Structure 1
């Protein structure tokens, strides 16, 4: 259950966000509802996300796997739910989306995809545990511009997932269920 009300004051900004979300996603996104309690935070987040959406150096499939590996590491079921729905809508292999939380045990990923998810998890660890070898492999495979974008995307997803998890936002039903393995003493998303 969310730790903050998901019924903010219906400011002009929030009404515009509601309209956009319903038109684009079919429903208002819970993170937008939560952030709308502070219009400056919502406005800043919107501008930031619109800018991030323009980054195009990294392959979209690799970007999606990096984002979802970070979200799974943090335990953000909202991000896993939305990421699965969004990536499936873009034609990504459903098996790859389904297996993200257990990617090490799955045979559906290429060596490059495995390196991307390893890097995303290493960056997401607290403190980060990025090793020189995986970073060098990615830099060689992707080039500098895409490597920087990958690094930035993982950092962006850490912001999203940590904020959503802290606010208590959970799966919003974009996908039929969220594949986040339960941690000892917690329930799965």
Structure 2
């Protein structure tokens, strides 16, 4: 599939700075940034959002990553799955476990009870008509606490935004997972 939006945005100062920063942080320019580079305000707002979200710390990073990967897998965003595998490696998460996320229910021994609840919640939130139940929310609020539960909910919402945007743009794997043990 080819991208539905050009990945060669205007060579503005903002886009040149964004490309430099992306190469420095990730080794290459991220396709979503190139796509958003066609609209300065969108790109600036998105970068500001992502930088703010990166500072959230009420939820344990491993749980946060499982939630994000589960939402991306449910939407079938190959770009997000590819980048998520790479990011898991950067976070020091076990890549064999991360590779099981798309079919986590088939691997019950690979995940803790809390991790399974987090992934079930991510799937329920990602349904076209959200399927979150009071029981599922209560089962997570207990062990996580209110602050981490709120963060979890917003992280899943953000990944839905990312994955649905990237899928609509026609973005596919950019080769990030080629640098880690997950294929």
Query: What range is the shorter-chain TM-score in?
Result: over 0.9
The match for 2:159 is 157
* Aligned counterparts of 2:154 and 2:91: Cα–Cα separation in 1: 21
Shift of 1:108: 0.8
Runs of 4 or more off by more than 3 Å in structure 1?
Answer: none
Structure 2's unaligned 5+ residue stretches are none
Structure 1's unaligned 5+ residue stretches are 178-189
Q: Specify the SS of the correspondent of 1:27.
A: coil
The match for 2:124 is 122
Shift of 1:118: 0.2
The match for 1:62 is 63
The match for 2:77 is 76
Number of equivalenced pairs: 177
The match for 1:90 is 91
* Aligned counterparts of 1:49 and 1:174: Cα–Cα separation in 2: 19
Q: Specify the SS of the correspondent of 2:173.
A: coil
Cα displacement string for residues 40-95 of structure 1 (whole angstroms, at most 9, x for unaligned residues): 10010000100010100000000000000000001101001001101111110112
Q: CA RMSD in A?
A: 1.0
More helix by share: 2
Q: Specify the SS of the correspondent of 2:176.
A: coil
* Aligned counterparts of 2:96 and 2:137: Cα–Cα separation in 1: 26
* Aligned counterparts of 1:61 and 1:41: Cα–Cα separation in 2: 29
* Aligned counterparts of 2:11 and 2:29: Cα–Cα separation in 1: 13
Could you tell me the TM-score, scaled by structure 1's length?
0.92
Q: Specify the SS of the correspondent of 2:128.
A: coil
The match for 2:175 is 173
